[in-house]
Amino acid sequence: MDILTLNCGSSSAKYQLYRWEEKRILARGIVERVTIGGSFIVHEVMGRDAVKVEKDCPTHKEAIALIIEMLTHPEYGVIKDVSQIKAVGHRVVHGGEKFKKSVIIDDEAMQTFKELADLAPLHNPPNILGIEAAKQLLPNVPHMAIMDTAWHQTMPDFAYIYALPYEWYEKNHIRRYGFHGTSLLYVAKRAAVLLGKDPFKTNIVSAHIGNGVSFNAVRNGVSVDTSMGFTPLEGAVMGTRAGDHDAAIDLYMMEKFNISPKEMNTILNKKSGVLGITGKYTDRRDIEEAAERGDKRAQLAIEIEGYRGRKYIGAYMAALGHTDAIVFTAGVGEMSPIIRGKMLQGLEEFGVVIDPEKNAISHTRNAETDITGKGSKVKIFVIPTDEELVMTEDTVALLEGRYDVHTNFTYSFQDPHYVNKLREENFKKEIEKHPELARIKAKIPGI
């Protein structure tokens, strides 16, 4: 049984085809520059070199048609016919309060996603376009929605209600929702495995750090607070998003320079964050290189991001009362020792001690690593996320009628003996070049 997962952004469409019985990725890739011209697909079949094909995709329908074409291509493909695809799982960023878990997409669900589009204007509209296009091209299979917000539906009201007129919540659903749920679910479950603990007796602070950034407090295996809010704009410093700041600044600048709400929304979401600070960089690798060359604003961006992240970690440790582990994940969290180090600097009084040497070595997306220092009361893990696997498992479980909220459902990756075969193979190759990685690979108790 082959399962296709799709993650459609405003100008991209990521995909993965997974063979369920063999627990194996067949192919994955991304179509870039959708709707804006110069479109191309980078298509990767496991065990082969990636293939890049240029083809104009003025809408998401053409992008998904190109994905299907590549999956069934006589030379580049991995399946003979689309009939081998038995279901499609779609990422949907905002599910509002209605959805506490993944769902089969019907007309009612689609209508709700459209009603919620204003809550995630950068994400839900392309998510919807992708679903509509895929349903046209693959009309004979069920389509499922995996919501970023579902993981956070366990937050208590005192964590998600803002100190604003209460009727705004009652009438307009203004509240904290949180995002990056599939990633945060995955690393929370994996952290429990690495700790050798019951997931529902485990407290962790997770840091999903990529272009978007989420911090997450998990008490007894469920989300109780998170840094992103009503939209993905709130919270930590991000690639292009401002994160937390005085809202009066926005009103002041709008009045002073006659900036419209739409223009301000663009500034806050696309021209702020580390891009706003440095004036030119969003990729943390570029920022770190520039900082090393002496670029003062790049150095400042690193210090600001580290400081703000450290405050979130400290705040969430206080909120939890007891913390078993701190987990870093996503592109920057997995690959930037500098950012991780800055965020944990000075937390020794909280019982958090990072091993600088292990942290410097931990630079892989193929293995879970333990960078805990001697005497630390809190474990520190780097766990490569796997949102696509969560999407695939939810899709299969919905298809088979055995799915439920995560508190009543067990994922395959919760098994201590679970192995991601592709990552394991790639890690072996990495160790040949960097043997020191082997000694920081996280050990699973009892195995």
148 as an active site residue: the answer is: yes
Tell me the three-class secondary structure of the chain, residue by residue. CEEEEEEECCCEEEEEEEECCCCEEEEEEEEECCCCCCCEEEEEECCCCCEEEECCCCCHHHHHHHHHHHHCCCCCCCCCCHHHEEEEEEEECCCCCCCCCCEECCHHHHHHHHHCHHHCCCCHHHHHHHHHHHHHHCCCCCEEEEECCHHHHHCCHHHHCCCCCHHHHHHHCCCCCCCCHHHHHHHHHHHHHHHCCCHHHCCEEEEEECCCEEEEEEECCEEEEECCCCCCCCCCCCCCCCCCCCHHHHHHHHHHHCCCHHHHHHHHHHCCHHHHHHCCCCCHHHHHHHHHCCCHHHHHHHHHHHHHHHHHHHHHHHHHCCCCEEEEEHHHHHHCHHHHHHHHCCCHHHCCCECHHHHHHCCCCCCCEECECCCCCCEEEECCCCHHHHHHHHHHHHHHCCCCCHHHCCCHHHCCCCCCHHHHHHHHHHHHHCHHHHHHECCCCCC
Selecting among 2, 148, 225, 324, the annotated active-site residue is 148
Which residues are identified as catalytic? 148
